Structure 1
Amino acid sequence: MRSHPVRRALITIGATALVVPFIASTGASASPGDRVALSGTTPSWATPAAVAGAPASSDQVSFTVSLPLRNAAGAEQLAAQVSDPKSASYQSYLTPAQFNTRFAPTDASVARVKSFLSGQGITVTKVADGNRWVSASGTVANVNKAFGTVLKTYSWQGRKLRAPSTAVSVPSSVAPDVAQVTGLDDSALLRKPLSASVPDNGGMPTAHAGKPSATPPPVGECSTYWGQHTQTVPKAYGKTEFPTYICGYSPAQLQGAYGVTDAIRAGQDGRGVTVAIIDAYGSPTMQSDANQYAANFGQPAFKSGQYSETLFQPFNLQDECQGEAAWNGEETLDVEAVHSLAPGAKIHYFGAQNCDTGIDDALNYVVQHHSADIVSNSYGNAGEELPAAEIQLEHSIFVQAAIEGMGMYFSSGDDGDDVTVGDTTKAEADYPASDSMVTAVGGTSLGIDKHNNYQFETGWGIDHDVINYATTPASYSSPVPGPFLYGAGGGTSYVFTQPAYQRGTVPGSLSKKNGKTPMRVVPDVGAIADPYTGFAIGQTVGGEFGLGSIGGTSLACPVFAGIQALASTGRHHSIGFANPLLYSLPSALYRDVTPPKSPIAVTTPTASSLNTFDHDSSLATARGYDNVTGRGSPRGLPFLLAERLL
């Protein structure tokens, strides 16, 4: 999602001594009329000054009532133990049935919640697997009465969004059975795919309009490897020749750069491992596109049974979620990136009904059915300005995934600290990447030479300076390097305290950036994300298959998930929640992404702009851990072997 300003103190109960890194609460507090208020059910953008009206009392509202896990603190403790290589319980995972027997809400609790809702004239539509929540719908009038609030419409960043105007409450008789109520506000509709493309690919940008004075150079070519082609631009950094951006790296190039070519040839190719990919909706040509793409680049197509799909249809909320077309490129990228890095792994694609509660349904389905060993998620919201109710719900799913030995991987974001692009008011990490029970994948700009060898990596952060040919001589529109365009998300959480695995690795200057209490810092690792050093994808659009180039941390996430599939090949147990293992590995197994000794920049084939690397809003690469690339990028075969042996 995007467009969420900072929310302070979403939830207020501290961690236990053992480490419950999420500042968790069931949100119960007494309210008048023998009711119990639920904290975190009103987003901070729902202010009196932003009220734009109210939905009609007869409008239908769909929502969920989530039920608390039994012994939630015990579940947090177990998740930490089974994921920690130093624990005697390491990799002693539970099956979904075992988890539910021990921690899931009871049938009796579900019955009480259903009875309460029905008594308010609200229709129960579904009970989620594992009794995790009850889905329901009712009129605005019935919802207002049932939950002791008034739904209103608010203006927020050019959109009209619904939200409760006061905290949601429930009768004390049912309060022990209710963890939170989600879906009454529209925050989740701001969830977005995290892919990015070159903004001036091919033509002259708007700033070039009008009668030119200077003559642009002849149109050149994009490069298939770093430095293959150059273009002439106004002088910057002491020179006038700069490489053109990458047309889109091939699978073989990424395999070579990340040092996994020999492992794949030797059979450590992800066989026996299943990677789930979750997005909203589903491209109808996903598998055929992936196979055609593989053929174009001399890579193996999917074997029979190697690719599968679960689509939660009918798809809905398309206007609110930017439509299927906006997600189809993301889905195609995710599938082709994982298959390119782990050609032997099974891929199971899950297409949610929408970008709202449909994502939660898909996440819960994957966990309740243990559908995969690794789950790649290339979506998120800008910042942590998600109601605490939604964060609590998703966090509990991630806890269950860890206990089952499933690794959840999330893109760290594409807008840096979110402030420069106007998404938030203060620098913060994005959720769900900031959750302490997921692996957040940050982004890099990657140089690969003509022999498919790793050449360099910087942090993905682009300053974009448009070249103005209306002057003589041509000039830059802003002082070089120009304004921030986009870059990897990262930063310090306001919601999650510092997990044990980050202690001793993350500098205090980052973990205590927001106060005296050390907090979770994002990301954990980094991989290729920069569209200017992007990845080639193949997709059918308008009935025709074509190749293009794309980037974003939604590239970094499936690339790293693919590498983790390689590391999981032949492992007796799945890696599971990877962070405790990733932070325990020696630093020599990572390429430490540090600031370049001299500026690195690219231009376009039309010489329309200069784009300088490693300038990521207020985030910065540094020696050791940093908030752009985490511990760094994986160092090929040594990295794979170290994870495989533990």
Structure 2
Amino acid sequence: MLRKLGLASSSVALASLAALALPGAPAVVSSTPSAVPMVVVGPVIKSASTSPPSASSCKTAYGIACYGPAQMAAEYNYGPAYGAGYNGTGQTIVIFDSYGSPTIRADLKHFDSAYHLPAPPAFNIYHPEGNVVLNYNNLPSPANFNSKQLATEVGWAYETTLDVEYAHAMAPGATIDLVTVPVSETQGVQGLQNLEKAQAWALANLHANIWSNSWATTEQSFDSSTVIKQLNQLYAQAAAKGVSIFFAAGDSGVANTNKQGATYPYPTVNYPASSPSVIAVGGTQIGSEPTTIASHVTEQVWNDGYGAGGGGYSTVFPETSYQVKASIPDRTGMRGLPDVSYNAAVISAVLIYESFDPVYGAGWVPIGGTSAATPQWAAVDAVAQSALGSQGYLAPKLYKIYRTPSLYSKAFYNVTSGNNSFDGITGYSATTGWSAAAGLGTPNVSDLITALGSLH
């Protein structure tokens, strides 16, 4: 049995940090929307060996599948690209998180060893907004783990671990740059500005054109659309410089909250995912949650009761020119999201390794959310650029592929079933072609590279 713990279904970072109702589930103590990232966390699975649990053992013990990098590579057809030597070599993925994790270097080494992955060419950590101080590092005992702040910091450590391990796993030849800030993003009130300052620093100093982000705020929670448009100037500048910025679209479908934690009584989307200068990443779930994946398994929109993929239409930004050209279904004339999707479900979770948890200690953890989808889409971009060279801001090219049916049918797995209605708020249904539940669909990575290479 799975259940949500403590938090409202959507928070400042788009979704609650939830845990499986099983021994070893990470503690969550906050009862109001706080700054927790977009992850859905399962039990810490102890293992006598370094090997991660199998999907079949997870299904037997917990009723969900849990997958590793090889299964994701099979699901999305990375194999031919890897076989041709395209694995992200020469590229850099920049990941932005609050706080980070005190054990991320050691945890990535353990993860790589267990999955027989090479270390990244470089793994750099930057603190442009000041050094991070973690309050849970020196707890006298786990019993002292009883504050919202501690839970927030631990939540971001799970987010950081997921981001780093899966960006690297799917693009093992790419350099990983982790940029952290010492405060948490909280409904646009604080933290978001720090993260944008850190991004401005990265734009000026890191010279990398692939960014991954898994945080945001409901558009309606800002004081005005003017504030959002001012914040968005950074992303417009980055896109103009050829940076593809991937943002998680959210983990509670169309049901998002205000600053007090109440769900808006109508469909909403989140910023920065709603920016016309970023690539919004939605969520899917893998069909029958097979215990092995040898090739693509049909997906539907993520909506497994514990979360749902974000999507809908902005109330701030008009429809982008490339969406207009693609004739996406949109009666509002506003920016539609997500642009793309990827496995994000709890019932088809991916496994991370962590050793920072102050209560349950080290172990393998099944984890879901559009936070799982976003760094993997950043990795797709890195793999493509290792094959084709710089692709610049990727979104217009993805929609150009969509406008050519012969390319689209090979480059994407069209998600045609499911919806992102959630928490009593009616959302959008998947359909043939683009939808506000699954965007263009999920990537057939090797064929997507071929399609990108054919564009003029």
- For residue 371 of structure 1, report the CA deviation from its aligned partner: 3.5
Distance in 2, matches of 1:368 and 1:201, equals 39
- Of 316, 328, 331, 1:495 maps to 316
Change (3 A) 1:228 1:193: closer
- For residue 418 of structure 1, report the CA deviation from its aligned partner: 1.3
> Aligned residues, how many?
387
Instruction: Name the aligned partner's letter for residue 268 of structure 2.
Output: E
- Of 245, 248, 270, 2:64 maps to 245
Change (3 A) 1:287 1:645: farther
**Alignment deviations for residues 162-214 of structure 1 (CA, whole Å, 9 cap, x no partner):** xxxxxxxxxxxxxxxxxxxxxxxxxxx9654111135x999xxxxxxxxxxxx
- Of 140, 162, 171, 1:342 maps to 171
For the 8 Å contact 2:247–2:273, the answer to whether it is kept is yes
When the two structures are superposed, what TM-score results if normalisation uses the length of structure 1?
0.55
For the 8 Å contact 1:412–1:430, the answer to whether it is kept is yes
Q: 1:362: which partner in 2?
A: 198
Change (3 A) 1:439 1:451: closer
- For residue 570 of structure 1, report the CA deviation from its aligned partner: 3.9
- For residue 295 of structure 1, report the CA deviation from its aligned partner: 0.7
Distance in 1, matches of 2:282 and 2:251, equals 9
Could you tell me which runs of 5 or more consecutive residues in structure 1 were left unpaired when the two chains were aligned. Answer: 5-156, 160-188, 203-221, 232-242, 464-484, 597-612
Instruction: Name the aligned partner's letter for residue 37 of structure 2.
Output: P
Distance in 2, matches of 1:329 and 1:192, equals 10
Change (3 A) 1:413 1:546: same
Instruction: Name the aligned partner's letter for residue 244 of structure 1.
Output: G
Distance in 2, matches of 1:228 and 1:158, equals 29
**Alignment deviations for residues 466-524 of structure 1 (CA, whole Å, 9 cap, x no partner):** xxxxxxxxxxxxxxxxxxx420111111100011111253544xx224xxxx0001100
For the 8 Å contact 2:44–2:365, the answer to whether it is kept is no
Distance in 2, matches of 1:256 and 1:273, equals 22
Q: 1:580: which partner in 2?
A: 396
Instruction: Name the aligned partner's letter for residue 333 of structure 1.
Output: L
Distance in 2, matches of 1:615 and 1:406, equals 32
Q: Superposition pairs for residues 205-224 of structure 1, below 5 Å?
A: 224=54
Q: 1:410: which partner in 2?
A: 247
State the superposition RMSD in angstroms. 3.1
- Of 374, 377, 382, 2:210 maps to 374
Change (3 A) 1:519 1:458: same
- For residue 532 of structure 1, report the CA deviation from its aligned partner: 1.1
Q: 2:429: which partner in 1?
A: 620
For the 8 Å contact 2:244–2:393, the answer to whether it is kept is yes
For the 8 Å contact 1:436–1:496, the answer to whether it is kept is yes
Distance in 1, matches of 2:341 and 2:91, equals 22
Q: Superposition pairs for residues 250-265 of structure 1, below 5 Å?
A: 250-265=68-83
- Of 518, 526, 538, 2:353 maps to 538
Distance in 2, matches of 1:430 and 1:321, equals 25
When the two structures are superposed, what TM-score results if normalisation uses the length of structure 2?
0.77
For the 8 Å contact 1:2–1:381, the answer to whether it is kept is no
For the 8 Å contact 2:254–2:268, the answer to whether it is kept is yes
Structure number, greater radius of gyration: 1
- Of 608, 626, 629, 2:438 maps to 629
Structure having the higher strand fraction is: 1
Change (3 A) 1:259 1:341: same
Distance in 1, matches of 2:269 and 2:327, equals 15
- Tell me which of the two structures has the higher relative contact order, counting C-alpha pairs closer than 8 angstroms and 6 or more residues apart: 2
For the 8 Å contact 2:430–2:437, the answer to whether it is kept is yes
- For residue 353 of structure 1, report the CA deviation from its aligned partner: 2.2
1:396 and 2:237 equivalent? Answer: no
**Alignment deviations for residues 23-54 of structure 1 (CA, whole Å, 9 cap, x no partner):** xxxxxxxxxxxxxxxxxxxxxxxxxxxxxxxx
Could you tell me which runs of 5 or more consecutive residues in structure 2 were left unpaired when the two chains were aligned. Answer: 1-8, 13-29, 46-51, 136-147, 186-190, 402-406
Give 3-state SS (helix, strand or coil) of 1:503's partner. Answer: helix
Distance in 2, matches of 1:372 and 1:448, equals 37
Instruction: Name the aligned partner's letter for residue 408 of structure 2.
Output: S
Instruction: Name the aligned partner's letter for residue 489 of structure 1.
Output: G
- For residue 577 of structure 1, report the CA deviation from its aligned partner: 1.8
For the 8 Å contact 1:461–1:614, the answer to whether it is kept is yes
Distance in 2, matches of 1:191 and 1:494, equals 23
Give 3-state SS (helix, strand or coil) of 2:313's partner. Answer: strand
1:275 and 2:275 equivalent? Answer: no
Distance in 2, matches of 1:226 and 1:503, equals 44
Give 3-state SS (helix, strand or coil) of 1:409's partner. Answer: strand
**Alignment deviations for residues 97-143 of structure 1 (CA, whole Å, 9 cap, x no partner):** xxxxxxxxxxxxxxxxxxxxxxxxxxxxxxxxxxxxxxxxxxxxxxx
For the 8 Å contact 1:352–1:361, the answer to whether it is kept is no
Q: 1:556: which partner in 2?
A: 373
Q: Superposition pairs for residues 427-446 of structure 1, below 5 Å?
A: 427-446=267-286
For the 8 Å contact 1:442–1:628, the answer to whether it is kept is yes
1:325 and 2:154 equivalent? Answer: yes
Distance in 1, matches of 2:356 and 2:59, equals 29
Distance in 1, matches of 2:157 and 2:44, equals 20
Q: 2:21: which partner in 1?
A: none
Distance in 2, matches of 1:316 and 1:385, equals 28
Deviates more, 1:320-329 or 1:338-347: 320-329
1:593 and 2:415 equivalent? Answer: yes
Change (3 A) 1:411 1:506: farther
For the 8 Å contact 1:3–1:423, the answer to whether it is kept is no
Q: 1:54: which partner in 2?
A: none
- Of 288, 299, 302, 1:460 maps to 302
1:310 and 2:98 equivalent? Answer: no
Instruction: Name the aligned partner's letter for residue 320 of structure 2.
Output: P
Q: 1:240: which partner in 2?
A: none
Instruction: Name the aligned partner's letter for residue 245 of structure 1.
Output: I
